[in-house]
Amino acid sequence: MTAPPAKRLPLSFWIVTLVAFINSVSFTIIIPTLYPYAKEFGLSDFQASLLTTAFSISQFLATPVLGRLSDRVGRKPLLVISLLGTVAANLLAAVAPFAWLLYGARMLDGITGGNNSVAQAVISDITSSEQRTQAFGIFGGMFRLGFVIGPPLAYLAQTLPPLPGVTKLGMSFLVSASIALLAAILCFFCLPETQPAEQCTKTFKLSWQDFGFERIFTSFRKPVVGRIFVMTFLNGATFTIFTFAFQPFFLTVLGQDAKDLAIAFVVFGILAFLSQVFLLEPLRQRLNIVNLLVAALVLRGLLFILMPSLPNIVAFWTLLVFFGAVNAFPMPLIDSILSLRTSKTEQGEALGTNASYLSISNAIGPAISGALVMFGYSVPFFVAGVLTVAIAGFALTLKADPTKSTAS
């Protein structure tokens, strides 16, 4: 007897997925712009790295609060408010006359930018358990696609005639604000509230428990999954050491400009997207998932080391092709291992905790990289490369018995 056809995903799902896609485009426009923009303010490499750290720390602090507030006051108001926060933050960044205002803009964007968890809560509200895997798969794919679209728009934004008081790089922030405003309007007019009215208390009162820091900072002690959380942190930290160092290296050592930097992010994003869509799953079906993770980390570490060892633009583009393909693997593989090692009733909390560890690493990695750059533009690459190969050794410890996974 054939199984009945799966129920179609509701219209609300496609609306919130489109909102998340637009939001990710708005966010990724800033990625190839922030470092050269910081240099326009006369910031040092280390000071420029702290712009990313300020955003990530703010997002780490605010994300659990946004999620819990959405349980009380509803999903839709929090999504709209957070998107408008991104609009305000990017408008402020575009016209900021002083560096401290730029830091303030990045912190505001971080505080209001942790809305992905609210969007995921909407999906949980409106889908059945049978639909959820498919829904989150589509949602994740659309969110990643935004990372492919954003950098080309950053390039195009820099070609627009700048408005009064706004530099060419500042135009990227204006375009980002416009796109975030579009997402807010779409959310306000088209997305229905998915949280039942009887569960919404309409109160904004917060407590220490709303932040959930105790659970985050003690979760690494849990058997099996604790090591996966540490793996996420180490993987994220080494990658963000690279992502910051790559920008001054590309501009200063390789002699490229901000538009070339945007193109590099475009190429990297497209390759990573294609690799994740077409290569990851076939390899995962043929190879042991931990062995695949170890191999990807070793290759990534070696590519980190090779990039500054061959400091010319032709070698860089060649290595970037391989790096774009390989770098798409580690985080999805870590998420898959975590999903396999936790029971269905634990997965929501485990994945949320894992995301928090990734946020912490996103705050620490750029600051470390900014400090290392002071000793030479190649130093962060070598440090990230050696550490990544060492982390591949740590990844071998994830070969634990999955039947013991729920002991946590």
pLDDT (tens digit per residue) in 261-300: 888 888 888 888 788 778 887 887 888 889 999 999 999 9
How deeply is 129 buried, as exposed, middle or buried, from its count of CB atoms within 10 A (0-12, 13-18, 19+)? exposed
How deeply is 162 buried, as exposed, middle or buried, from its count of CB atoms within 10 A (0-12, 13-18, 19+)? middle
Q: Which of 248, 317, 285, 291 is nearest to 399 (CA)?
A: 291
Least confident of 31-40, 65-74, 277-286: 65-74
| 253: amino acid identity, one letter | V
From residue 227, how far is each of 38, 91, 310, 379, 391 by CA, in Å? 36, 41, 35, 28, 12
Least confident of 4-13, 73-82, 223-232: 4-13
Q: Are 121 and 192 in contact (CB under 8 A)?
A: no
Does CATH number 3.40.50.720 belong to domain 11-195? no
d(CA 150, CA 146): 6
Structure tokens at 333: 């593989």
Q: What is the mean predicted confidence (pLDDT) over 328-347?
A: 75
pLDDT tens digits, one per residue of 164-187: 999 999 999 999 999 999 999 999
d(CA 184, CA 182): 5
d(CA 257, CA 109): 26
Q: Which residue has the higher pLDDT, 77 or 309?
A: 309
Domain 11-195 and domain 212-408, same fold? Reply is: yes
Residue with tokens 């990230």: 384
Does CATH number 1.20.1250.20 belong to domain 212-408? yes
d(CA 111, CA 21): 19
Mean pLDDT for the chain overall: 84
d(CA 295, CA 289): 10
pLDDT confidence band for 377 (50 / 70 / 90): very high
- SS3 at position 12: helix
pLDDT confidence band for 247 (50 / 70 / 90): very high
What residue segments make up the domains of the chain, in order of their start? 11-195, 212-408
Q: Which residue has the higher pLDDT, 269 or 67?
A: 269
Model confidence at 325: pLDDT above 60:
yes
Sign of the alpha-carbon torsion through 210, 126, 280, 306: negative
- Which DSSP symbol is given to 377? T
Q: Would you mind telling me the total number of residues written for the chain in this entry?
A: 408
